[in-house]
C-alpha cells in the first residue's frame, strides 16, 4: 500500500550526493503485497537482477565447473566437455554481447580508476544544518536548535517549575504555589538546610520550624545547628495539611475525614520521633521534609516548588545522624478507620516487609547512602513500645532491599571500604535507582537522585522540564565529559526498555565498552550531539551488481579488457560508421574496402569474444575486494546466496550471514533454523524485517526494527567487535534515531567518513500520530527550482499546511522519448517514393513480426525486449547500406521489416509504461505523425547557396548518424540500464521511478505481471466483438487512405500542425478522444473518395495540408483501446490487431488496384462509419470517457494536480 500524498507520516532522508531531502523508498526481497502495510515509506517492489547478459551467459556456460556456495572448481573430464560444448553453443551470442561496454559492469577507464581509486570508502552520511534542512526539503525544523543545547562547559539556567502534582509521593513540586526561583543560586550551596525544627520543650513536645538564616542572625554563627534527619515514605505516613486534603478529590466525606485523622496522627508521630531522636543524641534540631521544605512564603505544605527538594542529599550529608520511621501503609490505616476496626497492630514479622516497603522508594536509597557513617541508624517502628533499634548502615542492604548485592556495592563505596570509579559509580547508581518505585513528580527523578550522590560542583542545575535522559545526560557531561553516556548509547537494550535500563543483549557491561565518539551536548529530551563519529549511508534503492574486475586484479586484466573492448566494440562501430559514409557518398569502392578490412579484423573479435568468458570464469575463485565499499538495505529477509547472485551472478560463498541476536551457550545446542521464516519479526511487535548487505565485510545481516535505518554510526567497541548503531532519520527534526545495535567485525575507520555535530536520539522514532506539522512551511522558491520541489496541499485536523514534495520530473525522460521516436521512424511503412517491391516486402514481413513481438513483450521484461529491437534495427539498417550482394540485401530487408514491427509494438508498451493515459494520444501522434511529417518537411528543403557554395541538407544522413551515436551511447552504458520501464532503468532516482510508474497508464491494468497469457483471461462476448471491430476498423482505415501525399512538404507541415493540435485538445479534454478519432478517420476516408474521383481542387494547399491525416487515425485508435483495456494482454492485443488490420489493408492495396476506385472507396467509407457506431455501442459511453483513478502514492500527483491545488490555495488565501 503506497502512502497517501497528503499523509505527512511519510519519511524522508538526506541524499548524500547533494544533501537534498528525498522520500524514503525501499527495494524489497518479496513482492510488496505480501509485506506488512505501512505509510512510513514507499516500496519499489521485488528487486530485479541487473547482472549483465554476458555474465549470465558466461555462468551458464561455466556452471558445470562451479560448486555452489564455494570458490572451488569441480574439474573433471565430464565437466570440461560440458563446459566446452556450452561455450560453443553460446559463442554466437557472446560475440554480440561482449561488444557492449555496458555489459562489462564498468567501462575500461573506470576499471583503471578502480585500481588506483583513493576513495573506496562507504558513502558519507549527510548531516544538514537547520538552514539546509528547511531549504532543501519539505520540513522546517521543529527541534530546539543548538542555542538551546546543553553543551559541556558552563552550566545553563534551569527553566520555570513544572505544574502542580499530587501529594501521594515524596516531596512534590507545585507550580501553582509561589516559585522559589528558576535556578539554584549562583553562590555556593549552603552547607546547612534552609529550615530546621528546633525543640523548645522536650517534656511537653513543643517545637517550632525556623529559618536557619534568621536563627543564625539571632544566636550567632557559633550556635549548634547539628540535627537529626528523619527518613520515611509517604506510602506509610500521610503528611498532607488539611488545606491540601480539602482540595483533594475523594469519593466521599468519610474518606476525606479519615485521611485528615491519619494525616494529623502521622504528622504528630513523626515530629515526636524526631524530637526523641534529637534528645537521644543531645541535639535540639531535627529535619522533617513536610516542615522544612518550604516555598518563599514560609508556609509548611506537603507539596513544594522549592529547590530544597533536590538538595535533600546535601541535607542528609550535613545531618548529625538519621532515623528511619516505618509502619503499616497509610491506605491500610485509612481503611481501618472507615471499617471501624483497630489499626494494624505491630508484629515483629511485619518489620522487615515495612522496611522493604520503605526501601522500595526512590529517594530513601540516597538518604541511607549519604547519611553519616559514624552513628548507627535508629529504626522507629509504629506500634513498637520497645526502644528504637540501632543498625549499622552496612547491615541495612540485606534487610531493606531485594537487590541487596547491588545496593551493598554502593554502601561500601560511601563507607570508604570499596571505592568505585566514577564510571562504575554512575552505572551502579543508575542500575539501583532504576529499580526503585516512585510516583515521579519530575521526569528526571532517577537522574536527580543519582546526581545527589556527587559533589555539588559536579552537578548541573535542576531544570524541572527536563526528561529523565536529559537530566542524566547533563550529569554525565558534568562529571566525566559524557564518557558514561557515550557507552550507554552503544548498549543493545531489549526492545521497549527505558533509557536507564543498563542491560545489554549480549550481556556486556558498560565498563567493557570502549567509546569512540565524543558527546558535546544535550539538545533535546532524548537527544545528544555527537562529534568524531565514523559513519556511512545505507542505500535502500539499488542493488547494483559489482564490476567484473575489482581492485584485486592486476594490470594484465585491464590490458586484456582493453584489447577485448577494442576488438569487439571499436571494430564493429568503425565498420558501421564508415559503411554509413560510403552509403551516403555512393562509393562502391569504399564499401568494398571496408568489407575487406572488416573480414580481416572479424576473426580477432571472435577470438576475444570466446576468451573473455573463459578469463571471467577463471577469476571467480578470488576473494572479492569491491571497488567501493557499500551498505545495501533490503526490506524483508533475503538469503546471502540470492544477494550474491544479484551482485556477482553466481553464489560463490563470498557473503556470510551474521546473527545480530543474543548469543549464549544454549544457542549452540539448539537446532539451526531451517528456513528464513525464523528471521521474521514477532507477530504484533510493530517491527519489520530488513536485510543489510556489507560489501566490505562481505556480510549479510538480518534484523528487525520499526523503521528502516538510513545510516550506520560506529560509536564504540567491545570484545574485539565494533558496536554499530543502525539509525533512522527524522527529517522534521534533523535527528537520527537509534533503531538497532549490531556487533560487527572491525572495519577500519579509513573506510568510513568522520561526521561531526550529528543529532542522535535514543527514543523511538516518532509515530505519525505524535508528529505535528504546524511549523511545516513551503520551501523557498530557489530551492524549489533547483531540486524539482513542487508544493502539495496537505490538510490535517490542526492546521492547513503546504508540504512540498519531490515530483521528480526530469528532462531525461523526454530526451529518451525523442531518441526512441527517431529510432522508430517509418514504422507504418516506407514512403510512396520507395520501390513497390520494397513496400510489399515491408508490409508482408511486418505482419509476420507482430506475433513474435507480442509474445516477447508478454514473457520478457521491457528492458530485455528493447535490447533486441532497438539495437538490431539500427545494426541491420547499417548493414543493409553496406551489403554488396542483392540476395543478402533482400534478406536483410525482410529481417528489418520484422524488427521494425517488433520495435513498433515495443514503443507502444514503452509509452504505456511511462506516460499517463491522457498523454498517450499526444505521444502516439507525435511519434507516428508529427515526427514523420517534420522529417519529410526538412528533407524537402531546397539547396542553400552561400558564396557560390551549395549546401544540401541530407536529413537521411543526419538521422543515420544520430542513430549510430545513440547506439554508441547505449552500448557504453548498457541497454538494460538505459531502456525499460521506470522501475528498471538506473538513471532515475528511486522516488522518480515511483513518480513515473504510478502515474503511467499501465497502473490502471488489473493484471500487470509479465508472462500473463491473453487467452487465459475470460473473454466476454463484448470483448470478442470489440476485438473484431478493432481489426475491421483498422482494415477499412487502411483501405481508405488513397489521399496520402507522403513526400510533399506541405502535407508534412500539415501533419505536424494538425497532429499536435489534436493531441493537445485531447490532452485538455480527454472525453473528446472518440469524437476526434472518428472525425480524423472519416475525413481521411472522404479525401480518399475525392482523390479517386479525380477532382482537381484537391491540389490546393488547404487540401494538401490534410494529405497525411490518415496516419493520425491509427495512433488515436491505439490510445483509445489502451484506455479501454484492463490488462497488459488486452492492451497489446488490441494494438497488435489494429496494426495487423492496417498492414493487411496496405497489402491488399499493393496487390490490386481495384480498391483505388470510387465504387470501392465509397462503400468502404460507409462501412467504416457503421463500424465506428458499433464500437461506440460496444464500449459504452461511460467506459469510453473512463480515466483511471489517480494512484494514492506520494509520487503519483501529476503536474495538473499541482496546478489545481495551487489554485485552490490561492482561493483559500483570498
Model confidence at 1149, in pLDDT bands (50, 70, 90)?
confident
Q: What are phi and psi of 690, to 5 degrees?
A: -135, 160
Out of 151-165, 475-489, 871-885, 995-1009, the most confident range is 475-489
Least confident of 500-509, 518-527, 797-806, 1103-1112: 797-806
pLDDT of residue 484: 84
Least confident of 399-408, 953-962, 1120-1129: 953-962
pLDDT of residue 994: 84
pLDDT of residue 96: 67
Which is higher by pLDDT, 1023 or 363? Answer: 363
pLDDT of residue 1166: 92
| pLDDT tens figures, 961-998 | 676 677 666 666 655 567 788 888 878 888 888 888 88
Asked if pLDDT for residue 188 goes beyond 90, the answer is: no
How many C-beta atoms lie closer than 10 Å to residue 284's C-beta? 20
Asked if pLDDT for residue 1191 goes beyond 60, the answer is: no
Classify residue 304 as left (phi > 0), alpha (psi -120 to 50) or beta. Answer: beta
pLDDT of residue 266: 94
| pLDDT tens figures, 636-670 | 999 999 998 888 888 888 888 887 654 433 344 34
Residues contacting 449, CB < 8 A, separation 6+: 362, 363, 365, 366, 429, 433, 436
Residue 1191: closest CA among 918, 963, 997, 923: 997
Asked if pLDDT for residue 248 goes beyond 50, the answer is: yes
Model confidence at 492, in pLDDT bands (50, 70, 90)?
confident
CA atoms of 462 and 442, how far apart (whole Å)? 11
pLDDT of residue 567: 64
pLDDT of residue 746: 78
Tell me what the pLDDT averaged over the chain comes to.
75
Cell of 863: 528492458
Asked if pLDDT for residue 4 goes beyond 60, the answer is: no
Which is higher by pLDDT, 478 or 565? Answer: 478
Domains of the chain in sequence order: 53-104+556-618 (no CATH), 195-399 (no CATH), 828-1196 (1.20.1250)
pLDDT of residue 648: 82
Cell of 157: 539556567
Which is higher by pLDDT, 1173 or 664? Answer: 1173
Asked if pLDDT for residue 784 goes beyond 70, the answer is: no
Which is higher by pLDDT, 7 or 739? Answer: 739
pLDDT of residue 434: 77
Which is higher by pLDDT, 847 or 135? Answer: 847
Interval 105-129 mean pLDDT = 66
Interval 52-74 mean pLDDT = 82
Asked if pLDDT for residue 92 goes beyond 60, the answer is: yes
Name the helix (H) or strand (E) containing 520: strand 518-522
**Cβ distance 42 to 994 under 8 Å?**
yes
Q: Residue count of the chain, please give it.
A: 1214
Least confident of 269-273, 415-419, 945-949, 1139-1143: 945-949
Residue 323: closest CA among 393, 383, 258: 393
Interval 773-796 mean pLDDT = 34
Name the one residue in this structure whose C-alpha cell is 492546521: 799
Model confidence at 171, in pLDDT bands (50, 70, 90)?
very low
| Torsion (CA) 413, 414, 417, 419 in degrees, nearest 10 | 40
Which is higher by pLDDT, 255 or 896? Answer: 255
pLDDT of residue 972: 60
Look up the pTM and report it. 0.76
Least confident of 648-657, 732-741, 962-971, 1134-1143: 962-971
Interval 402-413 mean pLDDT = 85
Least confident of 231-240, 252-261, 885-894, 1167-1176: 885-894
| pLDDT tens figures, 578-603 | 666 666 555 566 666 666 666 666 67
CA 215 from centroid of its chain's CA atoms: 67
pLDDT of residue 431: 80
Least confident of 109-123, 341-355, 722-736, 750-764: 109-123
How many C-beta atoms lie closer than 10 Å to residue 298's C-beta? 12
Which is higher by pLDDT, 1069 or 1004? Answer: 1069
pLDDT of residue 65: 84
Interval 899-903 mean pLDDT = 87
| pLDDT tens figures, 1079-1125 | 988 888 888 888 777 665 556 666 666 767 878 888 999 999 988 88
Q: What are phi and psi of 772, to 5 degrees?
A: -110, 150
**Cβ distance 258 to 339 under 8 Å?**
no
Q: Judging by beta carbons within 10 Å of its beta carbon (0-12, 13-18, 19+), is residue 460 exposed, middle or buried?
A: buried
Which is higher by pLDDT, 28 or 1008? Answer: 28
| pLDDT tens figures, 544-565 | 887 766 666 666 666 676 666 6
Interval 140-161 mean pLDDT = 41
pLDDT of residue 837: 72
The dihedral built from the CA positions of residue 306, 309, 310 and 313, taken in this order, carries a sign that is positive
Out of 36-45, 128-137, 332-341, the most confident range is 332-341
CA atoms of 183 and 160, how far apart (whole Å)? 8
Which is higher by pLDDT, 787 or 525? Answer: 525
pLDDT of residue 478: 80
Least confident of 199-208, 412-421, 946-955: 946-955
CA atoms of 1143 and 898, how far apart (whole Å)? 12
pLDDT of residue 583: 60
Which is higher by pLDDT, 791 or 270? Answer: 270
Residue 12: closest CA among 971, 734, 593: 734
| pLDDT tens figures, 922-957 | 999 988 888 777 777 776 666 666 565 555 666 666
pLDDT of residue 17: 80
| CA–CA–CA angle 965, 970, 976 (5° rounding) | 165
As a whole number of Å, the end-to-end CA separation of the chain is 36
Least confident of 405-419, 426-440, 955-969: 955-969
* Start-end of H helices in 636-790: 640-648, 665-669, 781-787
Which is higher by pLDDT, 1211 or 1154? Answer: 1154
CA atoms of 209 and 198, how far apart (whole Å)? 6
CA atoms of 254 and 251, how far apart (whole Å)? 9
pLDDT of residue 777: 34
Interval 361-381 mean pLDDT = 89
Out of 454-458, 509-513, 687-691, 869-873, the most confident range is 687-691
Amino acid at each position: 500500500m503506497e502512502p497517501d500524498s497528503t499523509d505527512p507520516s511519510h519519511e524522508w532522508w538526506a541524499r548524500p550526493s547533494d544533501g537534498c531531502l528525498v522520500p524514503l523508498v525501499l527495494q524489497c526481497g518479496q513482492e510488496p503485497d505480501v509485506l506488512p502495510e505501512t505509510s512510513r515509506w514507499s516500496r519499489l517492489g521485488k528487486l530485479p537482477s541487473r547482472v549483465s547478459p554476458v555474465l549470465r551467459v558466461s555462468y551458464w556456460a561455466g556452471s558445470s565447473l562451479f560448486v555452489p556456495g564455494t570458490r572451488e572448481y569441480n574439474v573433471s573430464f565430464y565437466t570440461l566437455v560440458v563446459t566446452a560444448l556450452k561455450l560453443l553453443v553460446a559463442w554466437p551470442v557472446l560475440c554480440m554481447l561482449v561488444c557492449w561496454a555496458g555489459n562489462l559492469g564498468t567501462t575500461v577507464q573506470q576499471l583503471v580508476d578502480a585500481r588506483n581509486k583513493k576513495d573506496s570508502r562507504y558513502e558519507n552520511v549527510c548531516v544538514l544544518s537547520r538552514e539546509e534542512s528547511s531549504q532543501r526539503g519539505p520540513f522546517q525544523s521543529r527541534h530546539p536548535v543548538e542555542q538551546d543545547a546543553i553543551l559541556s562547559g558552563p552550566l545553563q539556567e534551569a527553566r520555570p517549575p513544572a505544574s502542580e502534582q499530587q501529594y501521594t509521593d515524596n516531596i512534590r513540586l507545585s507550580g501553582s504555589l509561589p516559585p522559589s526561583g528558576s535556578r539554584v543560586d549562583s553562590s555556593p550551596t549552603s552547607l546547612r538546610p534552609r529550615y530546621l525544627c528546633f525543640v523548645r520543650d522536650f517534656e511537653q513536645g513543643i517545637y517550632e520550624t525556623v529559618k536557619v538564616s534568621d536563627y543564625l542572625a539571632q544566636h550567632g554563627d557559633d550556635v549548634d545547628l547539628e540535627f537529626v534527619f528523619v527518613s520515611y515514605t509517604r506510602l506509610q505516613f500521610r503528611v498532607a495539611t488539611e488545606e491540601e486534603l480539602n482540595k483533594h478529590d475523594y469519593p466521599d466525606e468519610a474518606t476525606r475525614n479519615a485521611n485528615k485523622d491519619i494525616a494529623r496522627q502521622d504528622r504528630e508521630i513523626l515530629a515526636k520521633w524526631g524530637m526523641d531522636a534529637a534528645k537521644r543524641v543531645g541535639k535540639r534540631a531535627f529535619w522533617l521534609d513536610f516542615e522544612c521544605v518550604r516555598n518563599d512564603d514560609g508556609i509548611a505544605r506537603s507539596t513544594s516548588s522549592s529547590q530544597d527538594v533536590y538538595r535533600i542529599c546535601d541535607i542528609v550529608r550535613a545531618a548529625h545522624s538519621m532515623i528511619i520511621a516505618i509502619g503499616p501503609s497509610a491506605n491500610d490505616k485509612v481503611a481501618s478507620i472507615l471499617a471501624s476496626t483497630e489499626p494494624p497492630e505491630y508484629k515483629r514479622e511485619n518489620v522487615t516487609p515495612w522496611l522493604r516497603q520503605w526501601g522500595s522508594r526512590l529517594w530513601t536509597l540516597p538518604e541511607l547512602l549519604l547519611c553519616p557513617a559514624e552513628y548507627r541508624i535508629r529504626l522507629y517502628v509504629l506500634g513498637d513500645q520497645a526502644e528504637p533499634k540501632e543498625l549499622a548502615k552496612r547491615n541495612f542492604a540485606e534487610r531493606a532491599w531485594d537487590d541487596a548485592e547491588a545496593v551493598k556495592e554502593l554502601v561500601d563505596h560511601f563507607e570508604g571500604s570499596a571505592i568505585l570509579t566514577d564510571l562504575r559509580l554512575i552505572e551502579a547508581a543508575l542500575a539501583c535507582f532504576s529499580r526503585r518505585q516512585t510516583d515521579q513528580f519530575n521526569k528526571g527523578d532517577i537522574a536527580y537522585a543519582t546526581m545527589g550522590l556527587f559533589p555539588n560542583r559536579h552537578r548541573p542545575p535542576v531544570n524541572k522540564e527536563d526528561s529523565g535522559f536529559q537530566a542524566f545526560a547533563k550529569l554525565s557531561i558534568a562529571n566525566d565529559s559524557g564518557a558514561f553516556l557515550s557507552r550507554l548509547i552503544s548498549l543493545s537494550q531489549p526492545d521497549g526498555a527505558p533509557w536507564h535500563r543498563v542491560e545489554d543483549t549480549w550481556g556486556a557491561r558498560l565498563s567493557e565498552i570502549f567509546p569512540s565518539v565524543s558527546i558535546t551536548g544535550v539538545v533535546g529530551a532524548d537527544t545528544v550531539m555527537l562529534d568524531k563519529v565514523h559513519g556511512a549511508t545505507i542505500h535502500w534503492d539499488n542493488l547494483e551488481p559489482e564490476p567484473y574486475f575489482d581492485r584485486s586484479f592486476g594490470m594484465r586484466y585491464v590490458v586484456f579488457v582493453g584489447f577485448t573492448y577494442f576488438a569487439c566494440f571499436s571494430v564493429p562501430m568503425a565498420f558501421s560508421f564508415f559503411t554509413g559514409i560510403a552509403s551516403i557518398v555512393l562509393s562502391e569502392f569504399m564499401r568494398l574496402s571496408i568489407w575487406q578490412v572488416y573480414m580481416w579484423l572479424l576473426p580477432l573479435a571472435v577470438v576475444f569474444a570466446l576468451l573473455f568468458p573463459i578469463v571471467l570464469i577463471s577469476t571467480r575463485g578470488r576473494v572479492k575486494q569491491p571497488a567501493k565499499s557499500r551498505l545495501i538495505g533490503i526490506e524483508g529477509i533475503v538469503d546471502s546466496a540470492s544477494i550474491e547472485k544479484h551482485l556477482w551472478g553466481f553464489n560463490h560463498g563470498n557473503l556470510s550471514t551474521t546473527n545480530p541476536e543474543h548469543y549464549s551457550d544454549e544457542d549452540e545446542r539448539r537446532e539451526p533454523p531451517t528456513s528464513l521464516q525464523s528471521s521474521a519479526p514477532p507477530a504484533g511487535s510493530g517491527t519489520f524485517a530488513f536485510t543489510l548487505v556489507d560489501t566490505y565485510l562481505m556480510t549479510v545481516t538480518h534484523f528487525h526494527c520499526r523503521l528502516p535505518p538510513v545510516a550506520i554510526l560506529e560509536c564504540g567497541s567491545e570484545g574485539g567487535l565494533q558496536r554499530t548503531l543502525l539509525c533512522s532519520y527524522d527529517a522534521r527534526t534533523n535527528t537520527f534515531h537509534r533503531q538497532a545495535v549490531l556487533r560487527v567485525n572491525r572495519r577500519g575507520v579509513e573506510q568510513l567518513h568522520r561526521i561531526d555535530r550529528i543529532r542522535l536520539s535514543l527514543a523511538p522514532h516518532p509515530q505519525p500520530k505524535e508528529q505535528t506539522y504546524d511549523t511545516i512551511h513551503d520551501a523557498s522558491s530557489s530551492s524549489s527550482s533547483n531540486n524539482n520541489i513542487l508544493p502539495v496541499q496537505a490538510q490535517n485536523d490542526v492546521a492547513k499546511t503546504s508540504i512540498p514534495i519531490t515530483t521528480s520530473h526530469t528532462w531525461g525522460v523526454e530526451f529518451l522519448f525523442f531518441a526512441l521516436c527517431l529510432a522508430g521512424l517509418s514504422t507504418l511503412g516506407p514512403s510512396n517514393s520507395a520501390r513497390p517491391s520494397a513496400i510489399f516486402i515491408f508490409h508482408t514481413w511486418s505482419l509476420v513480426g507482430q506475433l513474435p513481438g507480442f509474445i516477447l513483450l508478454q514473457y520478457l521484461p521491457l528492458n530485455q525486449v528493447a535490447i533486441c529491437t532497438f539495437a538490431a534495427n539500427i545494426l541491420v539498417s547499417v548493414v543493409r547500406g553496406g551489403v554488396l550482394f542483392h540476395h543478402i540485401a533482400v534478406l536483410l530487408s525482410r529481417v528489418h521489416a520484422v524488427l521494425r514491427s517488433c520495435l513498433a509494438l515495443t514503443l507502444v508498451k514503452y509509452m504505456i509504461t511511462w506516460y499517463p493515459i491522457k498523454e498517450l494520444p499526444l505521444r502516439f501522434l507525435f511519434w507516428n505523425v508529427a515526427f514523420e511529417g517534420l522529417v519529410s518537411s526538412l528533407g524537402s528543403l531546397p539547396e542553400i547557396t552561400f558564396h557560390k557554395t551549395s549546401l544540401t541538407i541530407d536529413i537521411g544522413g543526419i538521422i543515420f548518424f544520430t542513430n549510430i551515436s545513440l547506439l554508441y551511447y547505449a552500448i557504453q552504458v548498457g541497454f538494460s540500464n538505459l531502456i525499460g520501464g521506470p522501475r528498471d532503468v538506473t538513471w532515475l532516482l528511486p522516488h522518480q521511478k515511483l513518480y513515473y510508474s504510478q502515474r503511467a497508464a499501465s497502473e490502471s491494468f488489473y493484471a500487470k505481471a509479465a508472462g500473463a497469457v491473453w487467452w487465459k483471461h475470460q473473454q466476454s462476448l463484448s470483448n470478442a466483438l470489440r476485438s473484431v471491430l478493432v481489426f475491421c476498423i483498422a482494415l477499412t482505415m487502411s483501405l481508405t487512405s488513397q489521399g496520402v501525399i507522403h513526400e510533399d512538404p506541405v502535407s508534412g507541415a500539415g501533419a505536424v500542425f494538425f497532429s499536435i493540435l489534436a493531441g493537445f485538445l485531447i490532452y485538455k479534454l480527454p472525453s473528446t478522444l472518440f469524437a476526434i478519432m472518428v472525425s480524423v478517420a472519416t475525413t481521411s476516408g472522404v479525401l480518399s473518395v475525392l482523390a479517386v474521383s479525380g477532382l482537381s481542387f484537391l491540389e490546393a494547399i488547404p487540401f494538401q495540408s490534410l494529405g497525411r491525416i490518415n496516419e493520425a487515425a491509427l495512433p488515436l485508435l491505439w490510445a483509445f483501446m489502451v484506455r479501454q483495456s484492463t490488462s497488459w494482454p488486452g492492451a497489446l492485443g488490441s494494438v497488435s490487431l489494429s496494426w495487423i488490420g492496417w498492414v493487411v489493408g496496405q497489402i491488399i492495396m499493393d496487390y490490386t488496384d481495384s480498391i483505388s476506385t470510387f465504387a470501392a472507396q465509397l462503400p468502404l467509407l460507409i462501412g467504416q462509419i457503421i463500424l465506428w457506431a458499433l464500437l461506440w455501442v460496444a464500449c459504452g459511453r461511460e467506459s469510453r470517457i473512463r480515466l483511471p483513478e489517480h494512484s494514492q502514492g506520494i509520487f503519483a500527483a501529476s503536474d495538473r494536480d499541482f496546478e489545481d491545488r495551487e489554485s485552490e490555495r490561492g482561493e483559500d488565501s483570498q
